[in-house]
Amino acid sequence: MTIAAVLTAAGSGTRLGHTLPKALVPVSGEPLVVHAARALLAARTADGAAVSQLVVTAPETHLDVVAALLDDVVDAAAAEVRLDVVGGGRTRQESVAAGLAELTDDVDVVLVHDAARPLVPADLVARVADAVRAGHVAVVPGLPVVDTVKRVGQGDERGRPVVETVPRADLVAVQTPQGFDRDVLERAHAVGTGRGASEATAASDDAGLVEATGVAVWVVPGDERAAKVTTARDLLVAQALTTGALA
């Protein structure tokens, strides 16, 4: 089975307090997108398979910059990799759809990863890919939820009432990369096309689109290092992890 990765890197850096697009914000001297791409290309499945095509969705204004940054990463990869850099959409869902449109005909397994998770370990990438190749057509990595989670109802300016306490044992916090049989993912995006144009209706992850088609999604163990960089604090944590200041 041939593996491709769609790396979403078209988001803004507004919540990071940066003028650069989020994927180009540096951690230890290298942009988030470079860290994420390197991890994807370093992954090897149980039988030694690697990502053979990397499709990156980037801001239209920075396509050449992203391509130049990733050329070096691809050249340094141990396996031969095709690189495609395309413009992202108005939402994450539209960006992934744009990436899927660039896949070569021989691709069977698709990994979808967010550049905002730059420190994802290569073994987590491989774990997701292996699960898809073993027969689970939709796979997500997840971590146990450690906080108590409560469902709330409509409230007022003073607060909102608790409706129920949700059992933590039934919950996981989902990460990326998410892995899919190509046909399953493409069908899900085709069905959900109308949702993707607006942030209010777009799916927050690809597994949600697949679930909506009635296909079962499986969870494999995630990794704390695959945390998402959203705020300035997250960026500081990522910096500390890459420099060894935070073990």
In a domain, 233, yes or no: yes
In a domain, 163, yes or no: no
pLDDT for 224 equals 95
**Could you tell me the CATH number of the domain that includes residue 222?**
3.90.550.10
**Does 201 or 247 have the greater pLDDT score?**
201
Cα 4 from Cα 181, distance rounded (Å): 11
In a domain, 36, yes or no: yes
pLDDT for 19 equals 83
pLDDT for 213 equals 95
Residue 194 pLDDT grade (very low, low, confident, very high; cuts 50, 70, 90): confident
pLDDT for 160 equals 97
Q: What percent of the chain has pLDDT over 90?
A: 86
In a domain, 212, yes or no: yes
pLDDT for 196 equals 63
In a domain, 13, yes or no: yes
Return the structure tokens found at 122.
């290569």
Q: How many domains does the chain have?
A: 1
pLDDT for 245 equals 64
Average pLDDT over residues 227-239: 93
In a domain, 155, yes or no: no
- Burial class of residue 153, CB neighbours in 10 A (0-12, 13-18, 19+): exposed
Residues 6+ apart with CB under 8 A from 109: 1, 2, 3, 4, 129, 132, 133, 179, 180, 181, 182
Q: Per mean pLDDT, which range of 123-132, 200-209, 221-230 is the poorest?
A: 200-209
Using alpha carbons, select from 58, 53, 80 the residue that is nearest to residue 69.
58
Q: What is the pTM of this model?
A: 0.94
In a domain, 158, yes or no: no
Q: Give pLDDT tens digits for 134-177.
A: 999 999 999 999 999 999 999 999 999 999 999 999 999 999 99
Q: Give pLDDT tens digits for 7-63.
A: 999 988 777 878 889 999 999 999 999 999 999 999 999 999 999 999 999 999 999
Return the structure tokens found at 118.
């730059």
Q: Which structural domain range is residue 228 located in?
A: 2-144+172-242
Whether the predicted pLDDT of 1 surpasses 90: no
- Is the Cα dihedral 65, 70, 76, 80 positive or negative? negative
In a domain, 176, yes or no: yes
Return the structure tokens found at 43.
């992954």
Beta carbons within 10 angstroms of residue 22's beta carbon? 24
Residue 197 pLDDT grade (very low, low, confident, very high; cuts 50, 70, 90): low
